[in-house]
Amino acid sequence: MTAGYKSPQFLRAVVDTLLPGETAKPSGRAALPSGSAAGLDPATYAKVARSALEAIVDAAGGASAFVRAAEADRIAVLRDVERKLPVPFRTLLAPVLADYYESRAVIAAFGWRAEPPQPRGHPLPPADEETHRRLDRVRQRGKLWRG
Amino acid sequence: MARLRKCDPVDVVVIGAGFGGAAFCKRLSERAPARRIVCLERGGWVDAATMPAYGSDWQRAVLGAWATSPNMRLSAGRASASADYPVDDSDSAFKPLMWNGVGGSTITWAAHFPRLHPSDFRTRTLDAIGDDWPFGYFELERYYDMNDAEVGVSGLSGDPAYPAKPPRTMPPLPLGRLGITAARGFDRLSWHWWPVDAAVNSIAHGGRAACNHCGPCLIGCATRAKSSVDCTYWPKAIANGVELRTQAIAVHIEIEAGRAKAVVYRAADGRDYVQPADFVVVAGNGIGTARLLLASEVASPALGRNLMYHPVAYARGMFAEELDGPVGPVGCAIYSHEFYETDERRGFKRGVHLQVTRENALLLQALRLDPAWGRDAQRLLREEFGRSIAVVVMAEDLPEPKNRVTLTDRIEADGLPGVRIEYSLSTHGRKSLDFGLDRAEEMLRAAVSHRVVRLPLAPMTGWHLLGTARMGADPWQSVTDAHGRCHSVENLIVADGSLFPTVGAVNPGSTIGALALKIADDLAREIA
């Protein structure tokens, strides 16, 4: 019954239920793609998260049934498996989220830069004059500690 | 025992090369230069070039070799530079976090560097709660100053929440839009706030670069702008003649007739060695120190008890305007001690630390959501990424004997008995956190956050492993005296956060370093 956990359609449906993306485009930004549209390779998860995927197949009444189900039903199945088998579910979820949130398309959709933190780092604005004046007001309060 | 290889005797053997061990070794080696000092460290040096921040897959490092939890690193099954041992935390409200190697948890700390307040040393006298330390803030003050100078602190003088401190070594880190926005909120309420003291270079200092605000401090600082004791105290200690043996796991302290005689350790070659010494000093954090002392059958009814973490909760405010995103040292923006000192009208004694933190990377932000997947999670992440401020509420943890470190029946791969922790949040802790969450939300609203969410208890915050070998005068209530010497084994000394009788409500790194320097001076007066 659980042999279908490797089927590409099933794996894609799982990934896209976990990460459906955005249908509407936020102002000034690209819409978030779905997991499969972001270029995730669902086949890789069959290798690392077999027990979670098999549990999803079982809970859905078959891999094909999961693929055909409405989104609300697929979500209900995943929630059920997450509740009953939190550790195996995490074994599936962690690499899916890591692949997704490290993909250039997703990072760009958040308006962030895809290159790693180093060596460029980031600029960070210093305190402005108004903030310095606020600090002066704190200073004027005098001693706040007890001895 | 016949298989043990005996090393040449030394004057002092120190176990653990984290903050306590590093500060102790550096100070003792300059105060007692003729003494031979060896430090045994279970892990190795971390090569900054191997830290993840230069790679495109840097975000997922937190799922594997650079996870904050040793249990997570072990279960990920990937090679980590941290020489971990499992901790059974199934009966603990918080998960212990640490790094095991040269530098200890300063390798992966946030480097937020506050001192305790003077009142933190006198909670019994002032508030009839907890216990007094055997000495006060002003007796430790010169060691705080000394520790600041060794570590290098960015900050701003004149904070009225503390007695005057020497000018900070470097100017404060930039506040960023996030810090400026939070400052506006505190200001509207006329509450105290101040730029944090940070053990991070705001300008080039000590042969290390200035921070370029890359963000992920908790996966190691690839530029070494963040101070960690492997690049501050240790080079000086080694130059002074301290011998640091890495991949050397202390498994037992030999004790005869009330005196420590030697340390048995397992070296990288897989062989067991015995290192005789006149003094044995343990600095393995509140779990590691207790584990080794319990395994060595140090007699003390207080040993392993009174484990304290600092309970932590979060309030996160969402803002309409763009803030900074995952930029800048994550724990080092601004803080408020408006509610740090006791005001009994709140319904509890002692107070809370409010710490404005910077945003995490996308993946970490996503993993924090519950559930972390689905349309709602993506909508929430879209709303908060680059537009949120998280305020950490840190409460004072009080010493409670039921919160403790014990040994299990099994022997772990490192040759020591397994270790288990038991910790539950007290009513006092819950009241403190709830009060702090209310204040954090009030500030975020004043800063014009349009939505605030709360995390009433944040379990993955167990960095501060304290109190399990506490100082005191009564051998029934404490493990060591005021000099860190075990009541039952006078030449066995503790030099880490295990010694704290109480913990205040701030990060302990600054106090651990200062205390280790004092303990070293106490010993130097006898042997120099």
What total number of domains does chain A contain? 1
**Confidence bin at B426 (pLDDT 50/70/90):** very high
Contact of A28 with chain B, judged by CB distance below 8 Å, is answered with: no
In single-letter form, the type of residue at position B245 comes to R
Structurally, chain B folds into a number of domains equal to: 1
User: B483: domain range?
Assistant: 5-527
Please list the alpha-helical segments (H only) found in B213-355: 233-239, 285-295
Residues B285, B407: Cα–Cα separation, whole Å: 15
| Interface check A21 vs B, CB under 8 A | yes
pLDDT beyond 60 at B126: yes
Residues B208-228, mean pLDDT to the nearest whole number: 97
Please give the residue range of the domain that contains residue A48. 3-114
Q: What is the CATH number of the domain that holds B397?
A: 3.50.50.60
Nearest residue of A to residue B179 by CA position? A127
Predicted local distance difference test score (pLDDT) of residue B44: 98
Q: Per the domain annotation, does A140 fall within a domain?
A: no
For the residues A2-23, what does the mean pLDDT come to? 93
**Residue B145 pLDDT greater than 70, yes or no:** yes
Share of chain B above pLDDT 70, in %: 100
Does some domain include residue A29? yes
pLDDT average, residue stretch B364-374:
94
Distance between CA atoms of B161 and A139, rounded to whole angstroms?
A: 9
Domain assignment of residue A44, yes or no: yes
Tokens 């790094």 locate to: B99
Whether pLDDT at B301 is above 60: yes
What pLDDT was estimated at residue A25? Answer: 78
The rounded distance, in Å, linking the Cα atoms of B362 and B365 is 5
* Distance, CA of B416 to CA of B408 (rounded, Å): 10
A128 domain residue, yes or no: no
Question: Sorting pLDDT into bands at 50, 70 and 90, what band is A147?
Answer: confident
In a domain, A129, yes or no: no
The whole-number average pLDDT for the span B203-225 is 97
Confidence of residue A27 (pLDDT cuts 50, 70, 90): confident
Q: Region B346-352: what's the mean pLDDT? A: 97
User: Tens digit of pLDDT for each residue in B244-292?
Assistant: 999 999 999 999 999 999 999 999 999 999 999 999 999 999 999 999 9
Percent with pLDDT over 90 in chain B = 98
**Least CA distance to A30: which residue of chain B?**
B382
The region, left, alpha or beta by phi > 0 then psi within -120 to 50, assigned to residue B129 is beta
Q: What is the pLDDT of residue B111?
A: 98
In this structure, the dihedral spanned by the alpha carbons of residues B448, B451, B455 and B460, taken in order and rounded to 10 degrees, is -70
Whether residue B2 has pLDDT greater than 70: no
pLDDT in tens, A53-71: 999 999 999 999 999 999 9
pLDDT digits (tens, 9 = 90+) for B482-496: 999 999 999 999 999
- What is this structure's pTM? 0.97
Mutate to test the interface with A, among B168, B373, B460 (most CBs of A within 10 A): B373
From A47's Cα to the closest Cα of chain B, the distance in A is 15
Q: Across chain B, what does the average pLDDT equal?
A: 97
Q: Reply yes or no on whether the pLDDT at A1 is more than 60.
A: no
- pLDDT at res. A2: 60
Q: What is the pLDDT of residue B3?
A: 77
The predicted-structure confidence for B83-92, as pLDDT tens digits, reads as follows: 999 999 999 9
CB contact A124 to B (< 8 Å)? yes
- B83: closest CA among B54, B40, B48? B40
- Candidates A32, A111, A124; nearest CB to B327: A124
Q: Give the residue-averaged pLDDT of B58-77.
A: 93
- Across the A:B interface, residue pairs with CB atoms under 8 Å apart total 170
A21 to A9, A76, A101, B30, B360: CA distances (angstroms): 18, 18, 12, 60, 21
Residue with more model confidence, B217 or B78: B217
